[in-house]
Amino acid sequence: MSLLEVRGLSVRFRAAHAVRGVDLDVGAGECLALVGESGSGKSVTARALLGLLPPTAEIAGRAVFDGIDLQITSGRRSPVVGSRLTTVFQDPMRALNPVLRIGDQITEVLRLHAGMSRAAARVRAEELLAAVGMADPGRRLRAYPHELSGGMRQRVCIAIAIACRPALVLADEPTTALDVTVQRQILDLVDELRRASGMAMVLITHDLAVVAGRADRVAVMRAGEIVESGPTRDVFTAPRHPYTAALLDAVPRIDGPRAAAVVEGSAVEGVR
């Protein structure tokens, strides 16, 4: 049985039909990449599962996580969100509270979801910072987000996401705001954490090169629908949908042909 099973997910914002009948399955410990352009509905899909969409969104469909119905149409956030099912956002500066020390932001999660005492949460927070590769974690707990580099901020966000040993992390463009060198560090870190803990992951990105060699399966979204899905290697070497092939051709290459191919038009316009 899948860890996460999504059936017939649809999301509408007034006239815009952002997600149209999406089915997804994520097995325990599996890494699924959800790829597509801006406006393809990949972030809206994740937000619907997490209960983070505004009340104006009309949601239909069903999502079962670890045997629990997430009740995504209820407008309420499931209690597993934040502990067993967590997320990492694109922009770590906006994901963190700028006026709270990062130690307080990590211990908040532990106290709220794991019911830890202040002292125990502090010890665990320090362990978490060490686990995400922060040097001198004891001192870093007292830092504010603005005192950290972008890469370190994203490490803090990852520490918060894994604080309660989640079964699944939804990472929405976790490295898009970062430099390539830091991107590689963060992707390597996530791989390492996944291997160590066996957690599953949905990695949302527009950059196919990011998921190559890291995701087990890929689902390609366009205009609110999944147009192709399958094992990463198969989809990359023999894409069946012309849109997947076009996306692959648009990736700037460090090997192979120099100039990337141009995809005419955009997914966003397809929706309108």
Partner 1 sequence: MTEPALRIEHLTVRYPLGGRRFAHAVTDVSLTVAPGEIVGLVGESGCGKSSVARSVMALRRPDAGRVLIGGVDVTALRGAALRRARRDFQMVFQDPRSSLNPHRTVRQILTEGLAIQRVPRPWDDQVDDVLRAVGLDPATYADRRPRQLSGGQCQRVAIARAVLLRPRLLVCDEPVSALDTTVSAQVLDLLRDVRDRYGVAILFIAHDLAVVRGLCDRVAVMYLGRICETGAVDEVLARPRHPYTRALLDAVPRLDGAVPAGEALRGDPASNVDPPSGCRFHPRCAYASPRCAAEEPVLAGEDEAVACHHPLAPVKAG
Cα separation of 126 and 129, whole Å? 5
With b for 16 or more beta-carbon neighbours within 10 A and e for fewer, the 203-240 pattern comes to bbbbbbebbeebbbbbbbbbbbebbbbbebeebbeebe
Q: Pick the stretch among 10-18, 65-73, 108-116, 230-238 that binds partner 1 (CB under 8 A).
A: 230-238
Considering only 142, 146, 165, 233, the residue that binds partner 1 (CB under 8 A) is 233
Q: At what angle do helices 118-131 and 102-113 cross, to 10 degrees?
A: 120
Nearest residue to 57 via CA among 8, 15, 23? 15
- Does 271 bind partner 1 (CB under 8 A)? Our answer is no
Least distance between partner 1 and beta carbon 187 (Å): 7
Q: Does 262 bind partner 1 (CB under 8 A)?
A: yes
Q: Partners of 13 in the beta sheet? A: 16, 57
Task: Choose, by CB under 8 A, the member of 85, 210, 218, 235 that binds partner 1.
Answer: 210
CB 114 to partner 1: min, Å: 31
Start-to-end CA distance of the chain, whole Å, equals 37
Contacting partner 1 within 67-126 (CB under 8 A): none
- Contacts of partner 1 in 138-197 (CB under 8 A): 149-152, 179-185, 187-188
Of the candidate spans 79-87, 101-109, 223-231, 252-260, the one that interacts with partner 1 by CB under 8 A turns out to be 252-260
> How far is C-alpha 160 from the geometric centre of its chain's CA atoms?
13
Which of 85, 159 has the CB closer to partner 1? 159
198 binding partner 1? (CB under 8 A): no
**Contact pick of 38, 74, 97, 117 for partner 1 (by CB under 8 A):** 38
SS3 state of residue 171: strand
User: CA-CA distance, 140 to 133, in Å (whole number)?
Assistant: 12
Q: Determine how many CB atoms are found less than 10 A away from the CB of residue 130.
A: 15
Least distance in Å: CB of 259 to partner 1? 5
CB of 147 to partner 1, least distance (A): 13
Chain residues that interact with partner 1, rule: CB under 8 A:
37-38, 135, 149-152, 179-185, 187-188, 206-210, 212-214, 232-233, 236, 246-248, 250-256, 258-263, 266-269
